[in-house]
Amino acid sequence: MKVAFQGEKGAYSEVALRNFFNEEVEAIGYELSEEVTDALLNKEVAMAILPVENSIVGNVNVNLDLLYKHPLFAIGEVYQNIHHHLLANKGAKIEELTKAYSHPIALAQCRNFLNKNSIQPVADYDTAGSCKLLKERGTLNEAAIGSYLCAETYGLEILSDDIQETQNNITRFLALVREEEIPESLLQTKTSIAFSANHRPGALLDCLQIFKKYNINLTKLESRPIPEDPFQYIFFVDFLSGIKESNTIQCLQELNQDAHHVKVLGSYPKGHKEVN
């Protein structure tokens, strides 16, 4: 089975993908998230996996927008611990390093380690991409910050592991299929939806009261601007109930009367959070 992810081989998205699927799958990387969803919609791949939230930096808004705009459906979630390692070509030594390449967020999360070792951070477009380019250059005075899978994929050495300041750095990924291919037997204990509230005082509160009425526990509530409608917002909600549960069915029926553009983004088994 072909599964799409965003990034180069060895990216944290591929780590999450391989942790999610028990069976052997063919992981196919794409440069942009839009290319990932296009590949899924065009049936080039059977499934896709995209990050939607990080415990430190918050939502991955571009991916939430893609999920809302396209006929996709989340059938699983995985919480992936993000471990940043200092990687280098074989023969390199920490004391001889002058630069470290990675995504700006990864560099920021490893700032103290880099400063302590007098290594200059250099921003690159992608963690795995910086590892791939480092291998191609073959230099011994440069490093990259990436995953253990990057080290395996590109034959790099881990000079120092877990160099990030915050150890509990967790990214939440959703596993996606096309809407017409939702498995019938899927266990559903958690649901993600999006909607916009009416433009009147108390409209959002009225919507939230509906969830309370049907005893549904919300685990997330976030808002995103609607580009086509200035100063109007889409609300993204996660809650602990499957879409086939009677209380969820009644809740969504009532919500459709009080809100606009209600869309179920997915319903899936609740993922397990592994905290360091």
Query: Choosing from 173, 195, 211, 239, which is the catalytic residue?
Result: 173
C-beta atoms surrounding 118 within 10 Å: 10
Give the Cα separation of 45 and 137 in Å (integer): 32
Give the Cα separation of 108 and 56 in Å (integer): 11
Active site residue 231: no
Torsion of CA 194, 200, 203, 205, to 10 degrees: 120
Collapsing DSSP to helix, strand or coil, 99 comes out as strand
Give the Cα separation of 27 and 200 in Å (integer): 46
Query: Choosing from 127, 171, 191, 248, which is the catalytic residue?
Result: 171
Active site residue 139: no
Antiparallel, parallel or unpaired: β 142-146 and 99-102:
parallel
Amino acid (1-letter code) at residue 116: K
Burial label, 23 (beta-carbon count in 10 A; 0-12, 13-18, 19+): exposed
CA-to-CA dists, residue 193 to 13, 72, 234, angstroms: 23, 12, 10
Residues serving a catalytic function are 171, 173
